[in-house]
Amino acid sequence: MKHLLSIEDVSREDIERILARAKEFEDVSRRPIKKVPALQYKTVVNLFYEASTRTSTSFEMAAKRLSAEVHSIRAAGSAVDKGESLKDTVQTLSAYDPSAIVIRSPHVGAADLVAEWSQAAVVNAGDGKHEHPTQALLDVYTLRERLGALDGVNVWIVGDVLHSRVARSEVLALTRMGAEVTVCGPPTLIPRGVEALGCSVAYTLDGLGEADVVYALRMQRERMRESYVPSLREYAVRYQIDAARLRSGQVLMHPGPVNRGVELAADVIDGPQAVITAQVEAGIVVRMAVLYELVAGAQPDAPADAAPLEPAAAEPAPAKAPA
């Protein structure tokens, strides 16, 4: 793999390899020293053109735990505010010879363009309403830790599918791993032709009890340019996941941030069926695995079957001042 731009470009074997690597890095995360020298002397640039907490922090922590040098750039306060184009920004950053560029953009296809303009490995951290590949990978990882193999597992994705970059990546990744996926929401929030991705469509929650996994999506009001539902109150009445709708044994997921009281009721967010915190935890080790795969795995002399998991040397303690 040279880049991670879309789940469409990733085979089941690729996913299996990344998740196996992530499991090794999970073992590292339990050590007192959580860093390994896998990407020592490499540079990772995080380029975010949209607000982000979980994804940007997760990528930054992942790169640092691999001992990479990390530079995080936000559009606000950078030369972008002065009118610099994406191409000019990428060409400027490429002059510093980064090994990887992680980009989030409100524009579909931005990551593909960066991959054309730079020699660095490129990771799509979300491009408009298109895709969010690492979110799908960390969710598959979380589910496998909870349920084991996903072949035949029934997953319902409920909510604002139309504006969700997560939904498309989830459907592609989950079906590739053998799961059966249904997307559900108001007709106005289900994109036309979504069945072509390999999923089924429902417009009510009547069949929700059949699901092994319920994946709630956030209502993305910041992407809406018109009214897609009469009101959030009416949406919650019809599609909110609460304790009454969630049967025993079902796993509850959400990509975050959660709109409490809209797509999820407060009584299920912190309940035993929710794995939302586990998803956040998985984000670090899965993104470590992705960066390792793209940067270290791309080197001709890098071993294909073993990550350097020896802990990085601890920084020396500062010398004591003479008495």
Catalytic sites, residue numbers? 54-55, 82, 104, 132
CA angle 242, 168, 100 (to 5 degrees): 115
First-to-final CA distance of the chain: 56
DSSP assignment, residue 4? Answer: B
What is the rounded distance in angstroms from the CA atom of residue 296 to the CA atom of residue 280? 24
The residue assigned the tokens 């922590």 is 61
Quote the tokens at residue 253: 């997921």
What is the rounded distance in angstroms from the CA atom of residue 11 to the CA atom of residue 30? 29
CA-based nearest residue to 279, from 200, 203, 192, 216: 216
The residue assigned the tokens 């459907």 is 171
What is the rounded distance in angstroms from the CA atom of residue 124 to the CA atom of residue 127? 7
Secondary structure tally for the chain: helices H, strands E: 9, 9
Quote the tokens at residue 299: 């080197």
Contacts of 270 (CB under 8 A, 6+ apart): none
Cis, bond preceding 230 (omega within 30 deg of 0): no
